[in-house]
Homo-oligomer: A and B are copies of this chain.
């Protein structure tokens, strides 16, 4: 299934550096793939052949480690999926799977490399975008590693609230995944959520969460 570049919101991310007649070629080479929730998009140790970005849905980037799964990042629409190590490595050092039903756009990595070789503005654009994305992941990680459970959980709740653009939203990941994301045990994640509920900062009905006191929640995220 080819994607229709004229209506693809992703085009502007980097294709505005390509002249219109060239663009046609790349659009024809680009394909879309749809995934159901929980399906695997990339598997750790797969060889990197494609350049992938997320058009619709929600995905998680995670590593399989001896200590269990570790979630590196949550990917939103317009994020790159084959983000890290695309140009750095031969193999993926992480997996990607769909949290919600998702649609990705795929280009052959060699085509992208060819573009970098031939098109200076495109090269500069992609360096900027990829670096920005990797930086965000690294600094987010540096930030939370200094914080305690309470702040980490508050951080996750705020992020997903912002993602849904609503104070009342459905948490798209399980408690277990929240634990893997903040690097703590399931039980303590749940306990912290319960504490926030008891303090009337949030309301909880299973996966449905409503933020009652956003200022207090932000304060909890930022302290210590």
Contacts and interface: CB of A to CB of B under 8 A. Distances in A.
A197 to B, nearest CB: 27
A83 B170 CA distance: 38
Given A119-B120, A120-B123, A127-B130, 20 more contacts: A63-B142, A84-B135, A84-B138, A87-B128, A88-B128, A88-B135, A89-B135, A113-B124, A116-B127, A117-B120, A117-B121, A117-B124, A127-B127, A130-B131, A131-B134, A134-B134, A134-B138, A137-B138, A141-B141, A145-B183
Interface stretch (A21-29, A50-58, A65-73): A65-73
Nearest to A114: B120
A202 B87 CA distance: 39
Interface residues of A, number: 39
Contacts of A132: 85, 88-89
Interface in A30-75: 63, 65, 67, 70, 72
Given A131-B134, A134-B134, A134-B135, A146 B88 contact: no
Nearest to A222: B66
A65 B131 contact: no
A118 interface: yes
Contact of A138 (B67, B86, B128, B138): B138
Question: Which of A72, A85, A93, A118 gathers the greatest number of chain B CB atoms within 10 Å?
Answer: A85
A139 interface: yes
A12 interface: no
A126 B127 contact: yes
A121 B131 CA distance: 18
Nearest to A121: B117
A70 B138 CA distance: 13
